[in-house]
Amino acid sequence: MKRRLAGIGAAAAVVLGGAAISQAATVLNAQMQEYVNSLLTEARRNDPGVKTFSAGEGKRFFNMKRVHSAKKEERSCSGCHTSNPLTRGKTPVGKILEPISPAANKERFTDAMKVEKWFKRNCHNVLERECTAKEKGDFIAYLTSL
């Protein structure tokens, strides 16, 4: 999919890049911009009403608790990353996580492959499904707005 989207061209990417995430405090690198643009294209395909990604929606998603159907325990993104993305988090097995916001950790949201890998893993862990393009874009919008 990324390959096909790359064909849209730099001009479209630049226009969308400005619109995809408004009020960003962290400027994404070119590779991440392209990734976010591809998420926005997909989100709009799923729902033509989508204009931009929303930091507010991303914050709500980040803190939303959901009960796992098999484990019967509450799970959320903030469960490991904490409700303050500027601080360190911790997994249930005690592994320390560096802050998830790029304002506190410059390595965050610099590598689209890594981001996609962890979306896949953590969305399944919390939601028991993949995150939608809208959820991913809102999540990035929130964390880059801090």
Q: Which is nearer to ligand HEC, 52 or 122 (CB)?
A: 122
Rounded CA separation 70/55 (Å):
31
- For the bound state, the minimum distance from the C-beta of residue 7 to ligand HEC, rounded and expressed in Å, comes to 26
State the residue for tokens 């469960």. Answer: 79
- For the bound state, the minimum distance from the C-beta of residue 44 to ligand HEC, rounded and expressed in Å, comes to 20
- Looking at the chain, how many residues does it have? 146
Q: Which is nearer to ligand HEC, 8 or 111 (CB)?
A: 111
- For the bound state, the minimum distance from the C-beta of residue 9 to ligand HEC, rounded and expressed in Å, comes to 26
Rounded CA separation 35/56 (Å):
20
- For the bound state, the minimum distance from the C-beta of residue 28 to ligand HEC, rounded and expressed in Å, comes to 11
State the residue for tokens 């862990």. Answer: 125
Interface residues toward ligand HEC, by CB under 6 A = 75, 77, 79-81, 91-92, 97-98, 108-109, 114-115, 118-119, 122-123, 125-126, 131, 139
Rounded CA separation 15/9 (Å):
11
Is 17 within 8 Å of 37 (Cβ atoms)?
yes
